[in-house]
Structure 1
């Protein structure tokens, strides 16, 4: 009951009168603790909790009530809160989870639990705990009295902390089996006051799981398995599954499968499916129903991870029998060889047999086989095959020099009795079972025969120096042969019979299968003979031998003193000594310029007799602009200055002509034909004039300028041939030599005439 008297303070100076006053200060003074200032009794005004604050430090002093003067020095004292059992034990870390291996021996450690009590562990039994199992027996046990370490640690604030008891849980039954029960629910109680009556208690739960150990072997679901498989199954294809069950889990349940006995150990194999732990039986080698129709295997399943503790109980493996029946399938034809190699000479006769392929039907009910060539591999149809017996024949001639190898594919097709009946009704129709076909590659090598004559490796042209010496090698020539003899090429060189006694040249065979051409004498001259032709016969060593004749051109040239060729043309020989190349080019340019002037002169002369008035049907190349209207009289003067035409003196400077180039398309001009040496100059000029006259793309472009004013005359006379009394057909054109340099373009002709109103 509050307030409760806690302590009483009294000073020896107190005579029992009311002149002394007691004052209290410190922790909780005035709130938790109050003092009677007359009697010195201290009262607790609130309920104290040791777990919240175990002690309080206060200061008391006696003073004069009237003057408040201290009668004696202040005194400090401590109030300690005495503990009572008002806190129950608590499992702060609960609930708990723990695992223990199955099949563990009794007393195997499982886990430990700890409860705490807020009461004072050093005062009485309020914090002395005792643990017990409320649920979980008889599988697990707990130590009835655990040791309590009597270690007390003191901190700066004078508080104490004790190390409380820990309860250890252990197995109580042997060989607990996970496969029978995997999880257990255990309730643990902690009671203070040493477990005596009146103590407080707290509980927690512990979930204990049995972990798996490999204590169970694999076991096949059945002792005998039956499977059937077609004989044409692909290699590696699964044909069946077997299963060995294991009560264990995880790594302990993993098993490996193996074939340990049977007549198909090399034909089949078994592997483990990592996901399902099934044993998968697969085919390793091809099956043949006609050879063996069934197999018997003995398979074994064994654990991978073994526990030595349980090996004494028996082998951790199991076996089962597997019977496999092979079923017949309609198989394609089988060739007698996976590949074929045939050899044939390139001169083999047409329809000759090159070789033969064979195939058979592996089925029990054997069917005939028909052969054909895959024409995608023989686009030129050089070969044929007999559909009945597979003999390959030649259809077109072969040429080793064109193609040495031919690779074709032969197709074998199985025919059933029904298909053969249809074939008899429709001869020539391919009625084979195209779903049952086989293919085989056939390589045909074309063997060489000596059917090509040797020839010069390239077109040779030899150069012979005029100052050469007798016996000097002029040229070394070589030969090639398209044939390919086994022992290599060996050529024989010779001159034609009529050239054996050639007075100028001789030949010499070299060890490297080439031929050297030698001069017999010196003193060759380009003036005497510029070119020599030397026919050479080339023969091979084949059977029969082949030969050809090649002609070597030998050109006589002028050479320097050290044998370097300088000139091989006879014209260069007759040139004056000391004439340089630049001088030759200048002379040639002068000749060309002279020819151009002559052609220009002749062209201008051809135009002198042409009329000034152009007819409508003539080609004037769009250089004449005609007007059909009469004109506007004086109004025309506004369009242009007529005075310029009427008064030549009014023209200032040179007015360029505005000829119109014809907008016609012509074929490319043909090159000039070469003129033979020694042709007369007059004939040469006539030929060139004829070509120029018939070539519309060549200058000059004819044009006519018409003026409305004839002019005042000229000291040289009128140039017009129209309406002139002095003009005739024999008019002299020598004036062209004076006017020619004034022409801006070759072939332009200026004609001056009288005024023509109609024009």
Structure 2
């Protein structure tokens, strides 16, 4: 009670304090008198000057200047100089009263420094030295507190304990805090309780309760700052603070559905997604990342997590079969990826859900009982040999019948029961393996097909006899001795033997009786040919032909007869067959050169002949008589003598030409040059009407008609004889009295022309 009475008294004293301090104070200055050495004290006397800001104007008295030199003379005047003299402040020269001429703002300038002067205006002299004085502007509470750093935003983890620091706000007041606490501030919350609190003097905001981000993730707090320590007449300012709650992993993911139904086709491949599951987590960010898994290990299904959508994707891990199992039941669970040990109390057992997968029936292709088949077949067996049996079934419920076919092979065929047989005998030496592809196709749905590889291995039988591995060019010197090795031979066998091949060499029965050579088997399937006597003759027996029998070790064993040619050579003094080999091989080299050259010449001649035929055909198709459209197809007969008579024309009747060319078989000429000359001599003796001559002419006509290498529409025949019965008479020199030799020469010349034609 006493305090309440004392508080107004104290406030009254503080308000009257400027007036109490406005008492006159004296300032004593010590000056030196110019005359003599006596020191005289002079004094400026005025009121202590304080000016309250925002004081109403004009011309408000704020104090008075006084000097002890002012003895009342009319000529003495007060003057001021310095900051604001004459503009902000003025002085009455006679009385020394000070006035303020305008409002003052302490926040702009808190004090002014001026100088006081005492002047005698009659003489213009300074009566007393100038003195400096200060006018102070006193503060009034005319500025409210301001938050200069706003707007404010802060974050704090959810579920933080009470008293957790959130942020600090600061306001400023330009008023003088020492003058009636005008600038001393007090902070308080206008909004934000009961979750937050603020320290009054520092502006620190703290939590005052636990908050759950999932219920409310941000709060608006309004802070007020008051000056004058919150007393009466205080001014205030406010600021808003947005406080956001950051997430902590205080919630576990939970499935919203207790059962998921999914469907998968029995034709689906492994890795196929069949559905998704989703759990909810009230947390956000990393705290909401989840991991899905199957609670009990499953060989058929698996779950992977989509990191972007946080969904669980159920995939097919192993192919399913509708005919074996229609439904699958699995259980999935979910948990957070990132869990702090301190927050484990919020988690516990993982959330689970059930998944029921239904397998859908599809029309599947046939399925072979084995992934591949391998069969063995003996070579050389006849057509239709049984190879093996394949089987495929329709896995669907209707069990459609299956039809088989063979692809990629013409050596095998298959029936509807899956039995594979050969279509022709097999030869291991041609192909030891056959790779088939058997196709099974459903009869009720031909689009449903499947294939299986079939490998047929052809087993070997001993069906090839051994033979020389190469051609042997063997020579022996005339003076060779007995038991001399002249050749080492070896053999090959195209058959495939389980054991290593073994060959036995021997001479035929005929050659065994021949004592010139013998054979000796060696290791490595080779044999040596040795001489069985000494001395050979190039003149008497230049070449020997030896029949060598080679037997293999097959079942049954096979034997072949191979001929070895041995040439006798005159080795002279060298006693070596190397010179013989060189001598006999050189002609062969020359023969090869001649053969190659001859082949090239023949090729050139053939191409030239073809070119000539094409050119002749091209010329034949051209119209030689453009003014006439008639195609001339007459034989042209040229007679060196006069035309023949009717008898000759009858003998040489010409048939109608063929309308189109016909390829005729080439016939070799039947008459040689020697025969023609012989006939010529006979014709000179018998005459032109002899039957031999007629036969010759008819034969020549037949050769011309059947010759396929000349154009078929034109022929040129030259006859050296004139026919009988000519009305013009004979102009031939054949009946002249010239010598027989001339007649014979004339005949030969005529027949030569005929042969050339």
Alpha-carbon contact 2:78-2:91 (below 8 Å) kept: no
The structure 2 residue matched to 1:446, chosen from 450, 458, 462, is 458
In the other structure, the counterpart of 1:386 is: 415
Q: Are 1:369 and 2:398 an aligned pair?
A: no
In the other structure, the counterpart of 1:195 is: 230
Structure-2 change in CA distance of 1:572 and 1:118 (3 Å) = closer
The structure 2 residue matched to 1:145, chosen from 201, 223, 238, is 201
**Cα deviation 1:591-632 (Å, max 9, x = unaligned):** xxxxxxxxxxxxxxxxxxxxxxxxxxxxxxxxxxxxxxxxxx
**Cα deviation 1:556-605 (Å, max 9, x = unaligned):** 486997979456566999xxxxxxxxxxxxxxxxxxxxxxxxxxxxxxxx
Give the secondary structure class of the aligned counterpart of 2:286: helix
CA distance in 2, matches of 1:518, 1:23: 160
Q: Are 1:412 and 2:468 an aligned pair?
A: no
The structure 2 residue matched to 1:294, chosen from 317, 320, 327, is 327
Structure-2 change in CA distance of 1:65 and 1:526 (3 Å) = farther
> What is the TM-score normalised by the length of structure 2?
0.59
Give the secondary structure class of the aligned counterpart of 1:434: coil
Alpha-carbon contact 1:557-1:569 (below 8 Å) kept: no
CA distance in 2, matches of 1:9, 1:117: 35
Q: Are 1:489 and 2:518 an aligned pair?
A: no
Which structure: larger Rg?
2
Q: Are 1:306 and 2:339 an aligned pair?
A: yes
Deviates more, 1:406-415 or 1:241-250: 241-250
Alpha-carbon contact 2:479-2:575 (below 8 Å) kept: no
CA distance in 1, matches of 2:198, 2:192: 10
> What is the TM-score normalised by the length of structure 1?
0.59
In the other structure, the counterpart of 2:258 is: 223
Structure-2 change in CA distance of 1:234 and 1:12 (3 Å) = same
In the other structure, the counterpart of 2:525 is: 513
In the other structure, the counterpart of 1:110 is: 166
Aligned length in residues: 530
CA distance in 2, matches of 1:171, 1:254: 29
Alpha-carbon contact 1:135-1:188 (below 8 Å) kept: yes
Alpha-carbon contact 1:465-1:565 (below 8 Å) kept: no
Deviates more, 1:8-17 or 1:280-289: 8-17
Cα deviation for residue 393 of structure 1 reads: 0.5
Cα deviation for residue 204 of structure 1 reads: 1.3
Deviates more, 1:358-367 or 1:13-22: 13-22
The structure 2 residue matched to 1:171, chosen from 207, 218, 221, is 207
Structure-2 change in CA distance of 1:465 and 1:63 (3 Å) = farther
Give the secondary structure class of the aligned counterpart of 2:257: coil
Q: Are 1:129 and 2:185 an aligned pair?
A: yes
Structure-2 change in CA distance of 1:20 and 1:358 (3 Å) = same
CA distance in 2, matches of 1:51, 1:311: 59
In the other structure, the counterpart of 2:616 is: none
Cα deviation for residue 205 of structure 1 reads: 1.0
Structure-2 change in CA distance of 1:461 and 1:215 (3 Å) = same
CA RMSD of aligned residues (A): 4.5
Give the secondary structure class of the aligned counterpart of 2:447: strand
Greater helix fraction, Structure 1 or Structure 2: 2
CA distance in 1, matches of 2:237, 2:251: 41
Give the secondary structure class of the aligned counterpart of 2:405: strand
Q: Are 1:326 and 2:359 an aligned pair?
A: yes
Structure-2 change in CA distance of 1:267 and 1:60 (3 Å) = same
Alpha-carbon contact 1:22-1:38 (below 8 Å) kept: no
In the other structure, the counterpart of 1:207 is: 242
Deviates more, 1:352-361 or 1:65-74: 65-74
CA distance in 1, matches of 2:341, 2:103: 66
Q: Any stretches of 5+ residues in structure 2 without a counterpart?
A: 1-56, 587-757
CA distance in 1, matches of 2:582, 2:274: 92
Where do residues 649-664 of structure 1 align in structure 2 (5 Å cutoff)?
none
CA distance in 2, matches of 1:504, 1:56: 158
Cα deviation for residue 445 of structure 1 reads: 1.3
**Cα deviation 1:128-170 (Å, max 9, x = unaligned):** 2211111222222212333xxxxxxxxxxxxxxxxxxxx1222
Q: Any stretches of 5+ residues in structure 1 without a counterpart?
A: 147-166, 416-431, 574-759
Cα deviation for residue 126 of structure 1 reads: 2.9
Alpha-carbon contact 2:64-2:98 (below 8 Å) kept: yes
In the other structure, the counterpart of 1:180 is: 215
Give the secondary structure class of the aligned counterpart of 2:398: coil
Cα deviation for residue 282 of structure 1 reads: 2.9
Cα deviation for residue 478 of structure 1 reads: 3.6
Alpha-carbon contact 1:557-1:565 (below 8 Å) kept: no
Alpha-carbon contact 1:527-1:570 (below 8 Å) kept: no
Q: Are 1:233 and 2:253 an aligned pair?
A: no
